[in-house]
């Protein structure tokens, strides 16, 4: 188990432009997410599940890996991750409205089931934790092909890994244990990012585990474990980049645990007032990842308040435009409902 202090400061190597780009993705994600809540309350979309509060560790994960090269197996809360990997705000909205042109599933899956063949984002099931064995299997394939020289010629020297995300509550599922064990046995180029927001809908973390950290289980699997502040972009990047370097060097898998919080209900269909106090929620709102990263960028003299305001205005305009285009998109034909989600017969 490493602590954040022991990891090298990879974040110190991020350029000003990259830091600002990361901040922009967080703000676009937040504005898009807030719009989805409003659309749900207006009765325009059927369901929303939110990334609010999780933006820091997700943007850090996208920037730590080699985007478009590594394989990503996200979960439903990964809006910021999907955007930072290259999925467009409109892609998310097309899914939320279940439009025919929804690139994730043609309107066949629930919203926020992110996927893109071009971006190496693999579609998942709604059953929690099922993406973890898929990701470990992909990591096994990466290692197997590398060892046997089976990669495409232009790919022979390209290190790759599989990254997957999951909530802390879903680590109670058997699939998670099976996949983590497999990753340990085969020393796979694999990262499991646990976004620990302390609740699985209404069930608090201490009812899921007797251990203070999910990553405390890492030694039992024979993988590396790390716990970090998931509301801090730079701490998250340091921990995840170290995990990526280990995977690329052939040193095996990492169980990376981001401590974070969702300051909103679990989904549009949840009322969190029934299981947690407003004081607790307010305390976490003071640790909001976007406010924190914005302050860091200002303290470092990289941006002024005016710049933050301009980024916010631009994000709102981007969301407005994406929504306009989404509303104009066609609805699917009812007879298409049972069609394929990820691959079709003519998919190569
Ligand atoms: C196998 C299975 N059981 C139950 C559910 C219903 N369900 C959806 S999300 C969720 C809670 C997951 O909590 P956690 O893993 O902590 O992730 P979070 O939503 O907090 O990010 C549950 C129980 C499901 N989708 N799949
Ligand atoms: Mg949770």
Q: What is the pLDDT of residues 290-311, one digit of tens each?
A: 999 999 999 999 999 999 999 9
Residue 21 lies in a domain: yes
CA 97 vs CA 90, 93, 94, 110, 195: distances in Å: 10, 6, 5, 10, 26
Cβ neighbours for 326, distance < 8 A, ≥ 6 positions apart: 90, 93, 94, 97, 99
Residue of the CA atom closest to atom 17 of ligand 1: 167
Q: Is the CB of 200 under 6 A from ligand 1?
A: yes
**Structure tokens given for 338:** 């049972």
- Whole-angstrom CA distances from 221 to 41, 207, 283 are 43, 22, 34
How many A from CA of 10 to the centre of ligand 1?
32
The pLDDT tens digits of the residues spanning 217-266 come to: 999 999 999 999 999 999 999 999 999 999 999 999 999 999 999 999 99
Both tokens assigned to 25: 């993705």
CA of 330 to the centre of ligand 2 (A): 35
Give 33-71 pLDDT, tens digit per residue.
Answer: 999 999 999 999 999 999 999 999 999 999 999 999 999
Q: Is 341 among the domain residues?
A: no
State if residue 140 touches ligand 1 by the CB under 6 angstroms criterion: no
69 three-state secondary structure: coil
* 345 domain-assigned: no
Q: Give 318 Cα–ligand 2 centroid separation in angstroms.
A: 29
Q: Is residue 252 part of a domain?
A: yes
Question: How many domains, the chain?
Answer: 1
In a domain? residue 107: yes
Q: What is the pLDDT of residue 176?
A: 98
Q: What is the number of residues in the chain? A: 348
**For atom 1 of ligand 1, which residue has the closest CA?**
127
Q: What pTM does this model have?
A: 0.96
97: Cβ–Cβ under 8 A, 6 or more apart, which residues? 44, 45, 107, 326, 327, 329
- Angle, CA 181 vertex, CA 241 and CA 128 arms, to 5°: 80
| Structure-block tokens of residue 236 | 């998250």
CA 196 – ligand 2 centroid, Å: 5
| Atom of ligand 1 minimally distant from the CA of 127 | 26
In a domain, 22, yes or no: yes
Whether 146 shows a pLDDT value over 80: the answer reads: yes
Interval between CA 196 and ligand 1 midpoint (Å):
12
CATH code for the domain of 76: 3.40.50.970
Residue 29, in any domain of the structure: yes
On the 0-12 / 13-18 / 19+ scale of CB atoms within 10 A, 148 is exposed
Domain that holds residue 135: 4-330
**193 falls within a domain:** yes
Quote the Cα angle for 75-84-291, to 5°. 95
Is the CB of 201 inside a 6 Å radius of any atom of ligand 1? yes
Q: Quick one: which H or E segment has residue 279?
A: helix 278-285
Q: pLDDT tens digits for 20-34?
A: 999 999 999 999 999
Judged by its nearest atom, the ligand closest to the C-alpha of residue 77 is: 1
Query: Ligand 1 within 6 A of 167 CB?
Result: yes
């Amino acid at each position: 188990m490493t602590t954040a202090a022991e990891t090298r400061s990879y974040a110190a190597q991020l350029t000003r432009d990259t830091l600002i780009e990361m901040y922009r993705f967080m703000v676009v994600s937040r504005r898009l997410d807030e719009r989805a809540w409003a659309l749900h309350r207006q009765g325009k979309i059927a369901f929303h599940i939110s990334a609010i509060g999780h933006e820091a560790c997700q943007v850090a994960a996208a920037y730590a890996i080699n985007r478009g090269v590594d394989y990503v197996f996200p979960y439903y809360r990964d809006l910021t991750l999907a955007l930072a990997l290259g999925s467009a705000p409109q892609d998310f909205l097309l899914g939320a409205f279940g439009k025919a042109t929804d690139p994730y599933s043609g309107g066949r899956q629930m919203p926020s089931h992110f996927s893109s063949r071009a971006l190496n984002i693999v579609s998942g099931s709604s059953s929690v934790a099922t993406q973890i064995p898929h990701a470990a299997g992909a990591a096994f394939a990466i290692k197997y092909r590398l060892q046997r020289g089976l990669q495409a010629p232009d790919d022979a020297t390209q290190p790759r890994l599989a990254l997957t995300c999951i909530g802390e509550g879903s680590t109670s599922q058997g699939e998670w244990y099976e996949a983590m064990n497999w990753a340990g046995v085969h020393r796979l180029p694999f990262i499991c990012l646990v976004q620990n927001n302390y609740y699985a809908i209404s069930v608090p973390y201490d009812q899921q585990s007797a251990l203070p950290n999910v990553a405390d289980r890492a030694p039992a699997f024979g993988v590396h474990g790390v716990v970090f502040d998931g509301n801090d972009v730079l701490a998250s990047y340091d921990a995840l980049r170290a995990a990526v370097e280990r995977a690329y060097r052939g040193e095996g898998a990492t169980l990376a645990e981001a401590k974070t919080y969702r300051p909103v209900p679990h989904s549009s269909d949840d009322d969190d007032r029934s299981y947690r106090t407003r004081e607790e929620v307010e305390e976490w709102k003071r640790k909001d990842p976007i406010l924190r990263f914005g302050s860091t960028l200002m303290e470092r003299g990289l941006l002024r308040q005016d710049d933050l305001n301009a980024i916010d205005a631009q994000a709102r305009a981007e969301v407005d435009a994406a929504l306009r285009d989404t509303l104009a998109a066609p609805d699917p034909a009812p007879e298409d409902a049972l069609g394929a989600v990820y691959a079709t017969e003519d998919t190569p």
